[in-house]
Structure formats: C-alpha cells, structure tokens
Amino acid sequence: MPIINKFSADTTAANVDPASVLFKARATNIRPLVNMLRSIFFRNRVSCAINSGGIVFTVEEASSTVAQAYVRTDLFATFSYNIQLAHEQNRGRTDSQNEEGEETVHVVLPLDVLLDCLMLFYGPASTAAGVTTGALTGSSGDLRGATTAHIAFNGLGTDFELMLEERGIISVCRMAT
C-alpha cells in the first residue's frame, strides 16, 4: 500500500538530522507545486531529478512528448541537498550529473499517488476535514493551499516521504521507490 497515514511524525525522515538525509525541503504553500504537477499529468509515471538547484519533474510519452516542471529552491521555505551523499549513492552511474557537472539523484514516482498525497487537505471542494472554510474563518475566504509540506528522500531503495500539516493536523505519506 503506497499511502500511510499517521497521527505522529516522530519517525519520519523530515525529523532526522539533515546531514544523514539526501534531500529535505519544506514548502509553506503547496498550491504552486500542485498546479505544476497537474499541468504535466498526462502519464502516471514521473521522473524526479533532484539536485542543489531544485527538482525537475519529467513526464514522457513514447519518447515523442516530454513535459517538465522545474521547481527551484526558492519555492521552498527550506531546501537542503546533501551533495556528499548524492555522490556516494551515484558511484558508477553515468546519468548522475546534470549539464553543469553537479550530482543529481533520480527517482521515479507514481504521479497520481504524489498528487493525491499533496492534496489530502486541499481537494477540489472548499472543505477541509469536513468543515467549510467559511465556518472556520467567519467568511467565505478560501484557505486551500495553506498546507505545509515537508518532503524528504534518502536515496534509492528508501521511501519518498511527504509530511503534510494544516491547522495542527499531520499526515505522513510514503511512496516506495
């Protein structure tokens, strides 16, 4: 089962020492990320290239159509990428560097599951956890997109992890890589 929900985030990679995690980021508003990923969602398989400049999400259809969403580090409130760990994990691989010669880690994820995880709190309706946003704010203001996401990945063979938090509610989603 690719999605795991927990009430506590004590054991997540997002709470581990950054020196031992390959990639860790925090976005205080996931709306731009969700919109970018939706725009390239014509195939379910997305390839993620992670480096110190950000993340490139690539969707390809029969080698004839390619869509990319480049998420730069400035979209995130915090972004850390451990180049030493990336170099160790990429030893012997020929596709491990980008055009600038920088170490890049690649992971393939199911795009539908990634989007479902990101939109746990911010779905198509204007409700969150069964309560309308108007009831929470006293107005009809839309609070969707106020979700904070902690993203962590420790390399091939480990789970790609999303920890989402909105108004004190925490959910952890792990995708096998």
Confidence grade of residue 87 (pLDDT, cut at 50, 70, 90): confident
2 pLDDT more than 80: no
Q: According to the model, what pLDDT value does residue 86 have?
A: 84
Q: What is the pLDDT of residues 11-49, one digit of tens each?
A: 455 455 556 789 999 999 888 999 999 999 999 999 999
Does 143 or 126 have the greater pLDDT score?
143
Q: What is this structure's pTM?
A: 0.74
Residue 44 and residue 37: Cα distance in Å, rounded? 11
Does 96 or 154 have the greater pLDDT score?
154
Q: According to the model, what pLDDT value does residue 162 have?
A: 95
120 pLDDT more than 90: no
- Please give the mean pLDDT across all residues of the chain: 77
Q: According to the model, what pLDDT value does residue 129 have?
A: 39
Q: According to the model, what pLDDT value does residue 20 have?
A: 73
Confidence grade of residue 98 (pLDDT, cut at 50, 70, 90): very low
